[in-house]
Structure formats: structure tokens, C-alpha cells
């Protein structure tokens, strides 16, 4: 990866609804514009993301999606209303940021939930996207949510039983996994009692860490080791989004792949990814003629050296001339 860099500009963008979205730009002000779209939802965007881009050839933009990172108000505060935190709101925020920075078209790079938001934005505004680079492809279908919070339990039955039991009496109600277990955690992480919020956050992160525990690279506790406020915001936002199926019709992003038209894309996916199985990436690539799928045999959702090399190679290939 490239050496660490510092932003040359940053700010808080007023996007309405009482929300202010943190953004920063680094690299070459005259370089190729690129936007980093972080995962979670609710993970926030850290400085390590800057290092994917050649600072001499890219003008890299990072932002924290509503309610997380350095954006305000922060979702770790239970008083922060998530009503105005939806996929449509985030797409609109990205457009406001593009206009604010005077960018005509930009490359989009991200992974996991970030790939869902990238695809949703690009299908809404294809004329504003020059290229796409995605790792850990997801489209947040309810089928994918059901797999992550129930289906993959066949590999981790004891950990899933603890995850389900901790959700209490609401875990088995509602329409499918989103209406029951995930929605229960959305309620628990918004509870007035801080002990209830903290316990639910710990239980959610323990499950997420268990799902990734068989992967050969990365931290053993990528969710559980985050700072407490960042963890609570991430879990609260993630449960909120997943309980609503990200407000996307089932399968909409796969059906909408033809809307991406001639946008070149590189999709990098780890074969060992249990949280987001490879079939979603495969179906997306099959429906998107300009997309190239690179399957990394020795990596999962957390990535690894081979996956990093593939992502860097793609970003270097799409960069502006030196």
C-alpha cells in the first residue's frame, strides 16, 4: 500500500435532517477523483483507506456515512433518531458531496456494505461513475441477511444459539430473520438503558467475529476490538439497515446490473468468505459485461495479502496518467 498521507481539505457537509457528514480529500488536487465508500453500515472511514490510492495520481475523497465516524449526530447516542438514515439518504449525501467538491465523475471503491451502496448509487447515477472497484461483494438482499444471521449458523451452532438467545423474546417474531432476530437487536441497541445497549452490542460483535473466525488473515476480533462508541454506532446502524432490507426490493441490485452499462469494474472476492458467499459476486459479474471478477482462493471477508495486491493492481490500472 502507499505511504500514509494527510488530508489537504476536510469539513462537515450539511445534508439536511439535522445531519452533518464528515468528508476529507487527500492526494493530488488535480488527480483522478475517487470516492471511498466504507462498510458496516456504520463502520466509518479510517486513514488506512487513503493508502490504497497513489497520492500522485488520485484525488481521494473519504466520508463517514450518517451517524458514524466523525459525522454528527452520532448513532452511539440513543437520542439520535435513525429515521433519516436510509440507503436513499446516503445516495443523496454522496451526490451532495460530489457537487460540493466540484467533481463531475469519480471512481467508487469500497467493500462489504460499501459495495451495496456503491451499486445503488451507480445504478441511480451511472453518468457520475467512471469505474468501480469492490471487495467482498454484497447486495444486501434479504436472502443474504438471512444467511449471515441464521444460515451460516450451521458452521457455528453454539455461537449462534448464544446470539439468538441474547436477543430475548422478540428474536423469533416477525417476517423472517429481518423481522425477528435482527429487528430485536435494532430495538436493544436503541434501548434507554446503557447496559442493555452495551450487552447487545457485545453479543452482535461476538457473532460477527465468530463468522469470520475461520479466515486465515486479519484480526481475530475485527468487530469486538473497536472502540465502544464506534461499535455501538455500527451495530445500531447495521441492525437498523438490515431489519429493513436496506429499503431495497429483493434482488433489485442484481436485476439492475444492466443499468451500469459501460462502467468498467473490478470485483475482488475471497473464496473463503462465509459472511458473504461468492455466489452473489458471481451472479453480479455474469450480469455486468464490463465487470471482471477476481476470486482470491486464500482470503475471506477480512482480505489478506493476495486480495490487497489485486485491489491495488486494479486501482493503479484505473489511475490517471502520471
Q: Which residues are catalytic?
A: 112, 273, 301
* Contact present, 255 and 280 (Cβ < 8 Å): no
* Cis check: omega of the bond before 242, within 30 degrees of 0: no
Tell me the chain's radius of gyration from C-alpha atoms: 19
Q: How many CA atoms lie within 13 A of 311 on its CB side?
A: 26
- The vertex-268 CA angle with 265 and 272, nearest 5°, equals 155
Query: In whole angstroms, what is the distance from residue 95 CA to residue 255 CA?
Result: 23
Q: Which residues contact 60 (CB under 8 A, 6 or more apart)?
A: 25, 26, 27, 31, 34, 36, 50, 53
CA 204, 208, 121, 9 dihedral sign is positive
Residue holding cell 473466525? 213
CA distance 321 to 236: 42
Cα of 44 vs its chain's centroid, Å? 9
Residues in the chain: 322
Longest dimension (CA), the chain: 59
217 preceded by a cis bond (ω within 30 of 0): no
> Which of 288, 14, 259 lies closest to 125 in space, CA to CA?
259
CA distances from 3 to 53, 146, 253 (A): 9, 39, 35
Do 64 and 73 contact (CB within 8 A), yes or no? Answer: no
Amino acid at each position: 500500500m502507499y505511504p500514509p498521507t494527510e488530508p489537504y481539505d476536510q469539513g462537515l457537509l450539511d445534508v439536511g435532517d439535522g445531519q452533518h457528514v464528515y468528508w476529507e480529500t487527500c492526494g493530488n488536487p488535480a488527480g483522478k477523483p475517487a470516492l471511498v465508500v466504507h462498510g458496516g453500515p456504520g463502520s466509518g472511514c479510517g486513514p488506512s483507506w487513503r493508502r490504497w490510492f497513489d497520492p500522485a495520481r488520485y484525488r481521494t475523497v473519504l466520508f463517514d456515512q450518517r451517524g458514524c465516524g466523525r459525522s454528527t449526530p452520532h448513532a452511539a447516542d440513543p437520542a439520535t433518531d435513525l429515521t433519516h438514515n436510509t440507503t436513499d439518504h446516503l445516495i443523496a449525501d454522496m451526490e451532495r458531496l460530489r457537487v460540493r467538491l466540484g467533481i463531475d465523475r469519480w471512481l467508487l471503491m469500497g467493500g462489504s456494505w460499501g459495495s451495496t451502496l456503491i451499486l445503488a448509487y451507480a445504478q441511480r447515477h451511472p453518468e457520475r461513475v467512471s469505474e468501480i472497484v469492490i471487495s467482498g461483494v454484497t447486495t444486501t438482499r434479504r436472502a443474504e441477511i438471512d444467511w449471515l444471521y441464521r444460515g451460516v449458523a450451521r458452521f457455528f451452532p453454539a455461537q449462534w444459539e448464544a446470539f439468538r438467545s441474547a436477543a430475548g423474546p422478540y428474536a423469533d417474531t416477525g417476517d423472517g430473520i429481518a423481522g425477528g432476530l435482527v429487528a430485536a437487536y435494532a430495538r436493544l441497541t436503541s434501548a434507554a438503558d446503557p447496559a442493555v445497549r452495551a450487552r447487545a452490542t457485545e453479543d452482535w460483535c461476538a457473532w460477527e467475529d465468530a463468522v469470520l473466525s475461520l479466515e486465515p488473515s486479519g484480526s481475530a476480533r475485527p468487530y469486538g476490538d473497536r472502540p465502544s462508541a464506534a461499535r455501538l454506532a455500527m451495530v445500531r446502524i447495521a441492525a437498523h439497515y438490515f431489519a429493513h432490507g436496506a429499503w431495497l426490493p429483493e434482488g433489485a441490485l442484481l436485476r439492475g446490473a444492466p443499468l451500469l452499462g459501460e462502467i468498467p469494474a473490478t470485483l475482488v472476492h475471497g473464496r473463503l468468505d462465509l459472511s458473504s458467499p461468492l455466489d452473489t459476486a458471481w451472479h453480479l459479474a455474469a450480469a455486468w459485461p464490463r465487470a471482471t471478477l477476481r476470486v482470491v482462493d486464500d482470503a475471506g471477508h477480512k482480505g489478506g495479502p493476495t486480495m490487497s495486491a489485486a485491489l491495488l493492481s486494479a486501482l493503479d490500472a484505473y489511475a490517471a496518467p502520471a
